[in-house]
């Protein structure tokens, strides 16, 4: 991992269009996504947190369920912007593929660190996870884009991924159980095809929920649909239309995707842990809506109204321009908080949350205060070590 004066990883690269001024909105949305991710992942008391700061138990969704798909959506956009720039500079497709492969391997290895730090016991080592899924989706979609840059093939792949996953989950018999809706619920927690396949690949100790994994192999298929939605958005941003026109059509596409996701939810429920096709459309559509709003707020303002030096902008850019580092830092630091035990017998995380709860009797509010403090700590570390020095890590 190297450094330079502008961020350039899959998640971190400063965005650019055919216009001289880059889109600030993408960095800001990335920063907001990262901040919210840290907030919901490190909330002191997961059971007592507000419903919006917890994942849906099964079917349905909460704001927390929108974090990961927004990450993937932004990866798709950044794939277009970074690859198009390299192609314009005359780099060969082979060198671009090797660059994509190297990034994917590094992302996967960082995921292994995040998942298994600090002990790395093979019997319980988790190979799935957020960064491994990003690595796999990025490798497939970026390679696809390098060798087949047109938009039509991406639309076809998006449709195929979402409909194909629905067919597999709805009509394929689960070995030893039967066909969904014939004796078993459509999205049975442990008797679905995704969970069955993961149990064939890994023993329970390797799976996040022991009988299944929310980032399992088969559910990567609709996750590819999410990153393809981002890639198509990136292709649209590269066109020569006025930025206001681009934002308007992104907003329209977002509302369309949300509507389709809600309609599909009737037959194929929105479910983050299975990354159902309805969930991919719904969450991807909301990501588009958020992006359009950020474009209006930041990139379509008059020069005299530019928010680039505002406190809110800086606060989001600290995470948005070093997203990979920020994510790894937050996960590793949380693990360290969990393994440091004090004389009271509690670990550091429990002690700090206990202090919050002592002064704030309400469990949910105490959990929120702890979460905000943790986000502030991570932000301060990234700001002092990297952002203030204009260091942006490059994979």
> 368 and 50 in contact (C-beta within 8 Å)?
yes
> 206 and 124 in contact (C-beta within 8 Å)?
yes
Ranges of the chain with pLDDT below 50: 5-11, 13-20
The pLDDT value recorded for residue 308 is 55
> 353 and 48 in contact (C-beta within 8 Å)?
no
Determine how many CB atoms are found less than 10 A away from the CB of residue 64: 22
Tell me whether residue 222 is in a domain.
yes
Specify whether 295 is located in the same domain as 332.
no
The pLDDT value recorded for residue 67 is 95
Specify whether 273 is located in the same domain as 344.
no
Specify whether 340 is located in the same domain as 270.
no
The pLDDT value recorded for residue 235 is 95
Tell me whether residue 60 is in a domain.
no
Specify whether 16 is located in the same domain as 133.
no
Q: Which of 247, 270, 300 is the last residue of a domain?
A: 300
Tell me whether residue 42 is in a domain.
yes
Tell me whether residue 64 is in a domain.
no
Tell me whether residue 235 is in a domain.
yes
Determine how many CB atoms are found less than 10 A away from the CB of residue 394: 16
The four Cα atoms 262, 266, 270, 276 give a dihedral, to 10 degrees, of -110
The pLDDT value recorded for residue 88 is 79
> 280 and 261 in contact (C-beta within 8 Å)?
yes
Report the distance separating Cα 259 and Cα 277, nearest Å.
13
Specify whether 244 is located in the same domain as 386.
no
Tell me whether residue 333 is in a domain.
yes
Specify whether 266 is located in the same domain as 132.
yes
- Structurally, the chain folds into a number of domains equal to 2
Strand partners, 347: 341
Specify whether 38 is located in the same domain as 164.
no
Specify whether 30 is located in the same domain as 105.
no
List the domain range (segments joined by +) for residue 42: 1-54+308-395
Specify whether 324 is located in the same domain as 388.
yes
**CA-closest candidate to residue 132, choices 106, 157, 158:** 106
Cα 323 vs. chain centroid, distance in angstroms?
A: 11
Specify whether 233 is located in the same domain as 323.
no
Specify whether 49 is located in the same domain as 31.
yes
Report the distance separating Cα 341 and Cα 287, nearest Å.
40
Report the distance separating Cα 22 and Cα 14, nearest Å.
8
Report the distance separating Cα 11 and Cα 322, nearest Å.
8
Specify whether 239 is located in the same domain as 377.
no
What's the maximum distance between 2 C-alpha atoms anywhere in the chain? 66
Tell me whether residue 33 is in a domain.
yes
The pLDDT value recorded for residue 343 is 75
H runs (alpha helix) in 238-322 = 243-265, 277-294, 311-320
Q: Which of 256, 273, 300 is the last residue of a domain?
A: 300
Tell me whether residue 223 is in a domain.
yes
The pLDDT value recorded for residue 90 is 85
Q: Which of 281, 300, 319 is the last residue of a domain?
A: 300
> 36 and 315 in contact (C-beta within 8 Å)?
no
The pLDDT value recorded for residue 3 is 53
The first and second tokens of residue 211, run together, are: 């009988």
């Amino acid at each position: 991992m190297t450094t330079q004066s502008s961020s350039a990883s899959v998640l971190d690269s400063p965005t650019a269009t055919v216009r001289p001024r880059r889109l600030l909105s993408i960095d800001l949305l990335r920063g907001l996504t990262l901040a919210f991710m840290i907030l919901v992942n490190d909330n002191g008391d997961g059971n007592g947190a507000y419903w919006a700061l917890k994942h849906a138990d099964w079917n349905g969704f909460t704001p927390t369920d929108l974090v990961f798909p927004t990450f993937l959506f932004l990866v798709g956009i950044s794939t277009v912007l970074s690859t198009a720039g390299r192609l314009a500079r005359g780099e060969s497709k082979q060198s671009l593929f090797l660059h994509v492969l190297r990034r994917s391997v590094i992302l996967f290895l960082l995921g292994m660190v995040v998942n298994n730090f600090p002990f790395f016991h093979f019997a319980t080592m988790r190979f799935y996870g957020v960064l491994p899924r990003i690595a796999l989706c990025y490798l497939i979609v970026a390679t696809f884009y390098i060798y087949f840059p047109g938009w039509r093939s991406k639309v076809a792949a998006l449709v195929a991924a979402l409909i194909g996953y629905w067919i597999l989950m709805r009509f394929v018999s689960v070995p030893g159980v039967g066909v969904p809706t014939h004796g078993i619920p459509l999205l049975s927690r442990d008797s679905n095809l995704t969970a069955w396949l993961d149990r064939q690949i890994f023993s329970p100790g390797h799976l996040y929920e022991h009988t299944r994994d929310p980032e399992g192999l088969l559910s990567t298929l609709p996750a590819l649909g999410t990153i393809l939605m981002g890639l198509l958005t990136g292709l649209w941003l590269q066109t020569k239309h006025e930025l206001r026109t681009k934002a308007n059509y992104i907003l329209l596409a977002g509302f369309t995707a949300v509507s389709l996701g809600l309609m599909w939810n009737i037959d194929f429920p929105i479910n983050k842990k299975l990354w159902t096709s309805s969930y991919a459309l719904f969450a991807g559509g909301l990501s588009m809506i958020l992006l359009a709003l950020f474009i209006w707020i930041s990139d379509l303002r008059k020069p005299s109204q530019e928010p680039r030096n505002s406190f809110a902008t800086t606060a989001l850019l600290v995470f948005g321009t070093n997203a990979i580092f920020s994510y790894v830092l937050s996960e590793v630091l949380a693990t360290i908080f969990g393994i440091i035990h004090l004389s009271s017998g509690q670990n550091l995380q429990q002690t700090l949350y206990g202090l919050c709860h002592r002064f704030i009797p309400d469990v949910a509010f105490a959990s929120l205060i702890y979460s905000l403090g943790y986000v502030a700590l991570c932000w301060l570390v990234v700001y002092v070590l990297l952002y203030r020095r204009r260091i942006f890590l490059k994979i």
